[in-house]
Each structure stands twice: as structure tokens, then as C-alpha cells.
Structure 1
Amino acid sequence: MPWTSPLRLSRRSLLSGAAGVAGAALLTGCSDGDGSSDTAVGVPLERRMRETAVRDSERLLERYDATALAHPALAARLAPLRAAVAAHTGALASADSAAGRPSGSASPSSSAAAGAASSAPAGAPAVSGEPVPPKPEEALSALADAERSLSEARTIALAGAPGELARLLASVAACGAVHAYLLTSPQGAKP
């Protein structure tokens, strides 16, 4: 019985097959691991993205509140930036309400954040779990890092966002980048 060599694949065939498998994996999408697909859940992508954006903005508001409480001397400097973040949260939440989210649920944790933050001394954890650094400069730097991180995450999310949400996220991300600059810039310290 003659021996035949096993089938040898060319490099091109192997790469084509790998690309096909990767493409098929991308086309099938992702699930949360419980076997149900996103469409079975019945929550549209845009709504999930908006709800996530609102939660992220609420966490950022909590950080602003905790930082201002831990460092009262920074409160005046943080007030306009915090007001802008609150406006972003409101815009995202109202856009979410228009998309079908019930209107009383836009910002349940904002008041909880203010109440919980009222007892946080310097160095104590903020409501979001991140500790407020004891030195004002470090607290501003940590807040700038949070702004920068959220801005980058929103910029990345633009790729999958529908038109109007993408425009809103782009605007909020740009504003977050400016906030990060103002929090760490000496010019940002001027009233």
C-alpha cells in the first residue's frame, strides 16, 4: 500500500481560511454569554449606547461632587465644568427619553451622589469608588484623567453609533477633552 502525503495547504489558502473565519465571527456578532442575542432582548443598540453614556456622565458628576466636597477651595473652579457635565447628562438622558426611555429615570443617582458625597472627607472614596486624592493638584489630575478616559471611550464608541447619537457623543467627547485640559492647565486655574 503506497503512502500518500497528507494534504498540504498553501500559505495563501490558510490565510484566506483564517480571514473567512474571522469575518464570519464578526458577522455573527456578540452576545452576553447567556445564549440570547441582542435582538432577542429587544433593546435597540442606540438606546443601550445612550443609557451607557448617561451612566458614565452620572459617574463623572459623582467624581466632580466628591472632589469639590473633599477640596472646598476647588469648588468654584470645578463648578462650570461640573455644570457642563450635568448639561451633557441631561442632553443624553432627554435624547434617551425621546428614544423610548421613561422620563423619570434619567438621573436617579445624581441626587444620591450629592447626598453620599456630602460626608466624604479628603482621601475618602468618591461615590464611584475612586478615592479623591488628598492633595488638590492630584485631585484635579485624577479628575482630568477621568474626563480624558471618558472622552476617549466616547470617541471610540462613535464608530458604532447611529447618526444623531454619534454627533452628540462627538460633541460631548470634545468637551471632555477640553475639560481635561482646563483641569491640568495653569490657565484653567484663573477665574
Structure 2
Amino acid sequence: MLAGAAGVAGAALLTGCSDGGGSPDTGGGVPLERRMRETAVRESERLLERYDATAAAHPALAARLAPLRSAVAAHAGALASADAATGRTPGSAPPSASPSSAAAGAPVPSADPVPPKPEEALTALADAERSLAEARTVTLAGAPGELARLLASVAACGAVHAYLLTSPQGDKP
């Protein structure tokens, strides 16, 4: 798992070293970076939903999940906060579903069922983190420089979260 995180970091160094310039893709009238950010925010929101659902189904796991959930909320905020890059004005709501309620800690219902056993629930959450980290790593290739660096960092964090969710060391404070 750590080797995978190192690979993500290496990809970030190679991919994220561009100057962030280049022509924006205006497919559908919405710049590429904005579309990519909106998608990344929605994905982070869905992951927050999974954390909330898991903590609600297994209250004994809530303390263990809290710091990881907090990091995911921070990722959603960072992805949504680039007002200039997304074409929003400061203080305006994001064009996607607002991460403010999810990022602020308000529980959001999850569409995915939580496994009944705590160990299985942690594994399912780790699988969701791992899958999203892999998807974000793939997305790096088409992302503008600054967004690529951010996605690489968030993907590396997701890989670490997956490791912590399934390792025996992850259940220690």
C-alpha cells in the first residue's frame, strides 16, 4: 500500500510539474478544470456519506473514523475552494451539491448499505477509499497542473486511509 502511495507521489511530481497553463477545454461551455473539480467534490461528498453511514451503523467505530472523515471533508473543501479556477465568485455556492453540510460534519444518508460486521464495514470503507484514490490517480493525466497536484495529494491520502482502515495499527489512537 505504501508503495502505491509512493507511486502516486511520483506521478504527482511528473504530472504536476506543468505550469498549469494551456487552453481550457470548453466542452459544453464549462472549462475542463471546473468540471474536474465539480466531479472530485461530488466524489468526496459520496465518500463522506459512506463515512457517516458507517459511523451511524457502528457507533463503536466513530472515534476511529473521525480523523479520516475530517481529512476527507478537508479534501472536499480544498477541491471546492478554488473560486477563480471554477469561475465562481468568492462566497457563492458550488455548482454541485454543496460540500458545506457534509464537510461541516452534518450526517448525510448513504445510498450504499453498510456491512453488518464492523470489520467488514471497515473493509468496505477502505475499498471505497482505494477505488477513489485509483480513479483520481488516473485522472491526473488530464488535469491542469495545480489541480493535478491537488488530486495527487488527495489520492495519496486516500491510499493511506485505505491502509489505516484495514491495518491493526489503524485502530490505535
> What is residue 81 of structure 2 aligned with on the other side?
94
> What is residue 141 of structure 1 aligned with on the other side?
123
* 1:172 is the counterpart of 2:160: no
Shift of residue 109, structure 1, vs aligned partner: 5.6
Measured against aligned partners, the alpha-carbon deviations of 1:154-179 in whole angstroms (never above 9, x if no partner) come to: 00000000000000000000000000
Q: 1:59 to 1:116 in 2, by over 3 A?
A: closer
C-alpha contact 1:54 1:89 (8 A) present in aligned 2? yes
Shift of residue 101, structure 1, vs aligned partner: 2.8
How many residue pairs are counted as aligned between the two chains?
Answer: 143
In structure 1, list runs of 5 or more residues that go unmatched: 1-37, 118-126
Structure 1 segments, 4+ long, off by >6 Å, are: none
Secondary structure at the aligned position of 2:116 is classed as: coil
In 2, distance between residues paired with 1:44 and 1:80?
33
> What is residue 153 of structure 1 aligned with on the other side?
135
Q: Partner amino acid for 1:44?
A: P
C-alpha contact 1:67 1:139 (8 A) present in aligned 2? yes
> What is residue 84 of structure 1 aligned with on the other side?
71
Shift of residue 40, structure 1, vs aligned partner: 5.4
User: What's the % identity of the aligned pairs?
Assistant: 81
Measured against aligned partners, the alpha-carbon deviations of 1:77-118 in whole angstroms (never above 9, x if no partner) come to: 0000000000000000002x222135442452663794553x
In 2, distance between residues paired with 1:144 and 1:178?
9
In 2, distance between residues paired with 1:40 and 1:154?
21
Shift of residue 42, structure 1, vs aligned partner: 1.1
Shift of residue 72, structure 1, vs aligned partner: 0.4
**TM-score after normalising by structure 2:** 0.77
> What is residue 73 of structure 1 aligned with on the other side?
60
C-alpha RMSD of matched pairs (Å)? 1.9
**TM-score after normalising by structure 1:** 0.70
C-alpha contact 2:49 2:108 (8 A) present in aligned 1? no
In structure 2, list runs of 5 or more residues that go unmatched: 1-24
Measured against aligned partners, the alpha-carbon deviations of 1:35-72 in whole angstroms (never above 9, x if no partner) come to: xxx73521011110000000000110011011001100
